[in-house]
Structure 1
Amino acid sequence: MKPNNILAALLLLSGSTQVWAAPAPVSEAANNPDSLEQRIAQLERMMQTRNKLQLELQQQLNLLQDEVSQVRGVTEEQSYKLEKVLQRQRELYQEIENRVSKAYEQSSSPAAATAVDNSQAISTDLNENEAYDRAVALIMQDKRYDAAIPEFQNFLTTFPQSVYIPNAHYWLGQLQSIKSDDANAIVHFKTVVEQFPESNKRPDAMLKLGALYQKQGKVDLAKQILNTLISEYPSTTAAKLATERLAKI
């Protein structure tokens, strides 16, 4: 055989040997338990790390949800308080408007002034007005509800014939309702309803009375007073609210 042919044969044999030797690493990995355990251990560490991250993310999510719930609760509470303030302001503005209108009528006509004095539609006693305004200011301006209760009680005692007596009873009913003293609140609202049929506070007092009766489980009394309110004051806001309340009883 020529030298060139011999060299070619050797190269061919060498390449064939390399081809057959290629699978050796696979066989070696399969027969090497230490390498397999290392890979399993690595996978376990990866799983542990992932689980730890998931746990931390879940904890952060729970904290965020708690914060959102707290913010929502504060917002709802502030909205409720704001609505209460606005409601009290509307009541005061309506009361002031009525008093100003009556004062204007009184000053524009001597006959009207005489009629007002005789019917006690508005007080001409400065001390009486000051006492009443001071009690109302404790509610509307200072928000000192506990202090306003004895102030109105003193007003009732000091000025038993005042034209503001039904208003004072109404405010006392409101204040007692805020304190959840439903029994005393009912007494004052009933006084307005039963003893002062001409008072502009009577429709609202009837609405409050119906709500308190419903709260106490006296459904029949609640329906009765609310239906009377709707019948006697059909075009008032109180009647509209009474209709909505009756639909839910």
Structure 2
Amino acid sequence: MAASNLPQARLGRGQRVAALAAIVAAAFVWSPHSHAALFADDEARRAILELRQRVDAMTQSQQRAGERSGDEVSQLRRSLLDLQTQIESLRTEQAMLRGQNEQLMREVAELQRRQKDIVQGVDERLRQFEPVKVTVDGREFQADPAEKRDFEAALAVFRSGRFADAVPAFSAFLRQYPQSGYAPSARFWLGNAQYATRDYKEAIGNFQALLARAPDHPRAPEAALSIANCQVELKDTKAARKTLEDLIRTYPQSEAATAAKERLSRLK
């Protein structure tokens, strides 16, 4: 038979359908008895055409299915590539953001360090203006650092023996800090500097100002004795005697009072 002479190779579905159609067609052509028994010529041709159409339709359907499958695979591959690209882009952006975050953290740390330095510097500067507790001539009070510095500077000039320079130094101090706790001591040393420069009248004025404003100051008895000394230098013995008598009466337990008694005994 013709079918037994076909190769025994594997055929695809479309090839098997086509081969079946060819066999059926051959059967109609080469078997006149079957043809005469089963169909008329027109009916046979119609059957063959229908069968061929069916085979063609099945073949086309399989081709379209294959094409669709290939398109879907291609589309999936493109989607995977796009997704991979997006992932890489996100990784790059994440790395960039991480780097920016680290840079910001470094900048914040630097700003915090600078802020700490600034605060410490401000605190130190503020401490330079904060009042400090001082004790001068047995009296304790609060004084600004600048006030303390200026008084000590003027006193250093006096103690160095530069009496002429000490006068303007103490005068400037009293003008700048008239309510200072240093004021009585400043007037005392100013009067002594004026006495040393033979400016007795100005010296008396400052010693008297000390007694009027701070009669209980530890330097007050010495100031009274210094007034008497200035009056002696001015040849005003009467005034000097009265000053010494007042000193002995007002400050009887002071060393200045003892010195005043001796001075009175020598005055004529």
What TM-score do you get using the length of structure 1 for normalisation? 0.50
Aligned to 1:135: 154
Residue 159 of structure 2 is aligned to residue 122 of structure 1:
no
Aligned to 2:193: 175
**1:128–1:240: structure 2 CA closer, same or farther, 3 Å change rule?**
same
**Deviations 1:123-160, CA, capped at 9 Å, x for gaps:** 331111111111111122x3222221111111001101
**1:229–1:184: structure 2 CA closer, same or farther, 3 Å change rule?**
same
Query: Quick check: 2:137–2:219 contact (8 Å CA) kept in 1?
Result: no
Aligned to 1:99: 136
Query: Quick check: 1:123–1:129 contact (8 Å CA) kept in 2?
Result: no
**Residues in 2 aligned to 1:167 and 1:135: alpha-carbon distance in whole angstroms:** 11
Letter in 2 for 1:99: V
How many pairs are equivalent?
Answer: 134
**Residues in 2 aligned to 1:201 and 1:173: alpha-carbon distance in whole angstroms:** 12
Residue 252 of structure 2 is aligned to residue 234 of structure 1:
yes
Q: How far did residue 98 of structure 1 move?
A: 5.5
**Deviations 1:154-184, CA, capped at 9 Å, x for gaps:** 1001101001111111111111111111111
**1:127–1:217: structure 2 CA closer, same or farther, 3 Å change rule?**
same
What TM-score do you get using the length of structure 2 for normalisation? 0.47
**1:231–1:101: structure 2 CA closer, same or farther, 3 Å change rule?**
closer
Aligned to 1:46: none
**1:211–1:157: structure 2 CA closer, same or farther, 3 Å change rule?**
same
**Residues in 2 aligned to 1:100 and 1:189: alpha-carbon distance in whole angstroms:** 16
**Residues in 2 aligned to 1:147 and 1:170: alpha-carbon distance in whole angstroms:** 15
**Residues in 2 aligned to 1:172 and 1:123: alpha-carbon distance in whole angstroms:** 22
**1:194–1:138: structure 2 CA closer, same or farther, 3 Å change rule?**
same
**Deviations 1:16-68, CA, capped at 9 Å, x for gaps:** xxxxxxxxxxxxxxxxxxxxxxxxxxxxxxxxxxxxxxxxxxxxxxxxxxxxx
Larger Rg: 2
Higher mean Cα deviation, 224-233 or 154-163?
Answer: 224-233
Moved over 6 A (4+): none
1:145 to 163, 167, 190: 163
**Residues in 1 aligned to 2:191 and 2:136: alpha-carbon distance in whole angstroms:** 21
**1:243–1:123: structure 2 CA closer, same or farther, 3 Å change rule?**
same
Identity in percent: 30
Aligned to 2:241: 223
Aligned to 1:165: 183
**Residues in 2 aligned to 1:214 and 1:149: alpha-carbon distance in whole angstroms:** 22
What value does the CA root-mean-square deviation take over the aligned residues?
1.9
1:189 to 207, 213, 229: 207
Unaligned runs of 5+ in 1: 1-96, 103-120
Q: How far did residue 100 of structure 1 move?
A: 8.6
**Residues in 2 aligned to 1:213 and 1:155: alpha-carbon distance in whole angstroms:** 26
Residue 217 of structure 2 is aligned to residue 199 of structure 1:
yes
Structure in which a larger fraction of residues adopt helix: 1
**Residues in 2 aligned to 1:195 and 1:167: alpha-carbon distance in whole angstroms:** 12
Residue 266 of structure 2 is aligned to residue 209 of structure 1:
no
**Deviations 1:102-124, CA, capped at 9 Å, x for gaps:** 5xxxxxxxxxxxxxxxxxx4233
Unaligned runs of 5+ in 2: 1-133
Query: Quick check: 1:226–1:242 contact (8 Å CA) kept in 2?
Result: yes
